[in-house]
Structure 1
Amino acid sequence: EGLVSLPRTLKVTYAGSQSGNDGGLPEDNPPGDGEDEPEPGRSRKSGDRKSGTDSSSGAAPDRGVDPEGVPPIFYDITGHWAREAIEELAARGWVRGVGGGCFAPDRPVTRAEMVALCLRLLGIPGAVPVEARFTDVPPGTWYYAPVEAAYRAGLVAGLGDTRFAPERPVTRQEMAALLLRTLEKAGVGTAITAGEREALLGGFVDGDAVASWARDAVAKAVELGLIQGRSGRTLAPGAPATRAEAAVIVLRLLHLPGLIR
């Protein structure tokens, strides 16, 4: 169950400094909606959104072919802005569908799913601890081992003393913080100066809405090209990230210079 599929390992060819970015995934702003998309007029590639097309209508999936005549891996991503990224990751074994030949690209990603994906990126196996850390991550659930392993690896800290909220949608700023912490654990430098951070966030109309604990991570994700923003130059930091957005951003991460992918 979940977004991720077969175990994969993110390998790097260089080491870098680690920053003190928050990775505890605390509570933040109320969720919104929308998609991570390129600026108007940009071409559709590696997950760029094609204006005016999505699969959020709730209609039955189109089981035919897309306008280019190529059968999709998943029936519900035909014409979707993130189709190419989803298909590439699925072909590599990084992500999987939800059953019935569907991917559910516009469904929110849960905190547990995102944590499991980051563990796959690092090649860290799930671990069954002697004593559970979180009261809302019970043994027997699919996410028990990955969440506990992520906590022990220092990727997450939970919400408060004993909660993790595994099935709550992960917000876009939480996703950025978790992915940047993953890069740090892989030895990739993620340091950013205060001036660089504010300049990058200032390029978005809602840059001030990014929580203080996530500002370094979100700004660095923008600098690295992992996050390009949603329509109208918005970051939507407190909005839930979708499965499509997670796929696109992970693919961009794998395409970063210096990563063996």
Structure 2
Amino acid sequence: MKGYCKKLLASFLVIVFMISIFSTISFSQEQSNTIFSDLPQNHWAYNAVKFMVERGIITGYPDNTFRPDNPVTRAEFARIMVISLNLPIKVTDNLSFKDVPKDHWAYPYIETAKYYLTGFRTQNGDYFKPSDYAVREDMAVALVKAKGLQNENIDMNILNNYIDKDQISKNLVKYVAIAIAKGIMVGSPVPNSNQYKFEPQGILTRAQAAVLLYNVINNQSTEEKVTYDDNSSSGSNQQNTYPVPNVTAYTKGDKVVLIWNRINDRKLKGYAVVISKNNSQPGYPQDGYLTILSDRNANYIEIGVNSKYNGGDFGVYVKNGEEYYFSVTAIYEGNVYVKGNAVKMRMPVIPNYFEKPSVKYEYKDNKFVLSWQPINDSRFVGYWVVISKKSKEPKYPNNGYLVFVNDKNTTQIVIDNTIPYKGGDFGEYLKDGEEYYFSVTAQYQDRLIPGNSIKAIYYSNLEIAKLRPKLQAKTVRWWGQSCINIKWDKIDNDKLQGYRVVVSDKNPSPDFNKDGLLAAISDRNITSINVKAKDKYLINGEYKELKKGHYYYFTVYAIYSDRIVGGNVIKVKIP
């Protein structure tokens, strides 16, 4: 009987995991048997996707696509881990990561998932890089630890069958080996050989996630009860001994009012107000939050149209005339969350309500795509696409515009630097590898309504971006002299032939042909150079010296057999 329960629990966790990883996709029985227009039968992930679709576990997007190449971010994967495996939420007053503040939508998930995922340690502290894309070796660590297999003794020679084993981060090698040995992750065969490729640094896509989960399902014999280390708590994080909020609601003018009982408990820290479009029993943190009230005596809140929400299943704003499930979660000491009952209410219909665009971005076919929801309003005229380098909440006309879209049915645009920007703070064109704020302003007959802003690193072509050297610089001592160490990431590409270090004292975008050649490097394994005063560089057939105390712009060009790709630019002062 115990063995049966154990297998049942393992199967349940896997299915929940699958449901969670595709939580951003619409769930509907009507679409469960559709054939996706962008996933032909000869696609390498077709059988895995078909397996889960036939069981009603996942569906595609409303336009009947699956979008197999869409990436998954590290923050999204952290949330998936926590919710799918029902991990006890672990947050503290001390932030673990410099780039994940408490008001970040994924903060509780990242704090919890840090015991299963990887971070980045620097001299300035630890970073999580929540907006970076999840990579395959991170997935291996997460699943191995979540399944309690990290202490398994396996033959490390299993990695000899993989041509890219040296690309695995040294601290993660054992986890990858365990994942392979247990059939959790396999990799892809190398044509015309008996070897495989694991792609440890490969960005995790929806198709890869589908195949990975398919492999987990088909390796049920390796399922073991999930155990947690000393950083995790045992059992449920919702105890029967804690008072539960009793929530009621009513409509007051243009607002929904929530009321709940005051809880007199010394362990109570506050309340989280929770809203969901699809979950009839929403709770914090898995369903996000509208606001967190630290006042222990609070028992009342008014919620209006366009209230901003964090980490929900319905976008950024609460909408006019839409139905939602409302609830309150009591937050107790020791990171215990006790959710109250939910009430279903419709937001009041307000005649003078003007819908805001809900903006998001993705890389589709390696292109940067900005998208938003359609606005169905007789007063609506069109959309202004707005970008800014400095303004965190860009809007038209204050921050100029890229293009005006007067087709109400057009809800996305590919930003590929073919259209010059008008009236911006960064010039006419975006620069690859730099960060910008993107938004959309809705044009109505008598007013302008700006949407939310998203912050993103822009690449006109994500595939080419992977070929770009990523530079950083610091001052070091070398042979008793201060100098600048310029370093870039190692690029593993068969077509790479070498690098060229280019310098300019005036041009903020040093040109491969016109500006100074500091070094030509033919050894692909060399990824750094020390630069000091009086070093010579060649420009216009003459040699010039770098001057002490002067600022210069440096970049590195990667030379491939079929192209030349420049890296980011750094400005440094010669010591």
1:159 is the counterpart of 2:120: yes
Distance 2:175 2:152 in 1: 9
Pick closer, same or farther for the CA change 1:128–1:94 going to 2, 3 Å. farther
Distance 1:145 1:91 in 2: 33
What amino acid sits opposite 1:249 in the alignment?
L
3-state SS of 2:83 partner: helix
The one-letter amino acid paired with 1:226 is: I
Per the alignment, in what secondary structure is the counterpart of residue 137 of structure 1?
coil
How far off its partner does 1:141 sit?
A: 4.8
Tell me the C-alpha RMSD between the 2 structures. 3.2
AA paired with 2:127?
R
Native 8 Å contact 1:202 1:208 kept in 2: no
Q: Which of residues 99, 106, 110 in structure 1 aligns to 2:73?
A: 110
Matches of 1:215 and 1:83, distance apart in 2? 29
Q: Deviations over 1:28-67 (max 9, x none)?
A: xxxxxxxxxxxxxxxxxxxxxxxxxxxxxxxxxxxxxxxx
Query: Matched residues in 2 for 1:101 and 1:130: separation?
Result: 44
Structure 2 distance, partners of 1:117, 1:95, is: 15
Q: Structure 1 residues 89, 129: CA separation in 2 closer, same or farther (over 3 Å shift)?
A: farther
Change (3 A) 1:77 1:225: same
Q: Kindly tell me: are residues 253 and 133 of structure 1, through their superposed partners in 2, closer, same or farther at Cα, counting changes over 3 Å?
A: same
> Which residues of 2 match residues 7-46 of structure 1 at below 5 A?
11-12=9-10
Distance 2:105 2:54 in 1: 23
Q: 2:179: which partner in 1?
A: 221
SS of corresponding position for 2:161: coil
Normalising by structure 1, report the TM-score.
Answer: 0.59
Q: Which has the larger radius of gyration?
A: 2
Matched, 1:178 2:178: no
Q: Shift of the alpha carbon at 1:165?
A: 0.8
In structure 2, the residue matched to 1:209 is 167
Would the aligned equivalents of 1:126 and 1:145 in 2 still touch at CA under 8 Å?
Answer: yes
Deviation, 1:224, is 1.3
Q: Does structure 1 retain, via aligned residues, the 8 Å contact 2:79–2:106?
A: yes
* Offset from partner CA, 1:179-236 (integer Å, 9 cap, x none): 111112xxx565124xx11x11001122232221111111111111122212412112
Structure (1 or 2) with the greater strand fraction: 2
Q: Residues 100 and 167 from structure 1, CA distance in 2 versus in 1: closer, same or farther, beyond 3 angstroms?
A: farther
Q: Which amino acid in structure 2 is aligned with residue 236 of structure 1?
A: E
Once the two structures are superposed, residues 148-174 of structure 1 have per-residue CA deviations (whole angstroms, 9 ceiling, x without a partner) of 2223xx223532234211121112111
Distance in 1, Cα, partners of 2:108 & 2:57: 18
Change (3 A) 1:148 1:88: farther
- Check if 1:136 corresponds to 2:99: yes
Q: Which has the higher helix share?
A: 1
TM-score normalised by length of structure 2: 0.29
Alpha-carbon distance in structure 1 between the residues aligned to 2:104 and 2:55: 26
| Residue pair 2:118, 2:138 contacting (<8 A) in 1 also | no
Residue 145 to residue 85, structure 1, CA distance change in 2 (3 Å): farther
In 1, the alpha carbon distance for the partners of 2:56 and 2:80 equals: 12
Distance in 1 between residues matched to 2:164 and 2:150, nearest whole Å: 26
Identify the range of structure 1 (78-87 vs 96-105) with the bigger mean alpha-carbon deviation. Answer: 96-105
In structure 2, the CA distance between the partners of 1:138 and 1:176, relative to structure 1 (3 Å rule), is same
Partner residue, 1:59: none
Whether the 8 Å CA contact 1:12–1:258 is kept in 2: the answer is no
Query: What is the CA–CA distance in structure 1 between the aligned matches of 2:86 and 2:162, rounded to whole Å?
Result: 34
Aligned length: 186
User: For the residues of structure 2 that align with 1:176 and 1:147, how far apart are their CA atoms?
Assistant: 17
Tell me whether 138-147 or 157-166 shows the greater mean CA deviation. Answer: 138-147
SS in 1 for 2:147: helix
In the alignment, the residues of structure 2 paired with residue 91 and residue 166 of structure 1 have an alpha-carbon distance, to the nearest angstrom, of 33
Structure 1 position 126, deviation (Å): 5.4
The equivalent residue for 1:251 is 214
- In structure 1, stretches of 5+ residues that fail to align are 1-9, 14-69
Highest relative contact order (Cα 8 Å, sep 6+), 1 or 2?
A: 1
Alpha-carbon distance change, 95 to 234 in structure 1, aligned in 2, over 3 angstroms: same
Distance change >3 Å, CA 258–CA 220, structure 1 → 2: closer
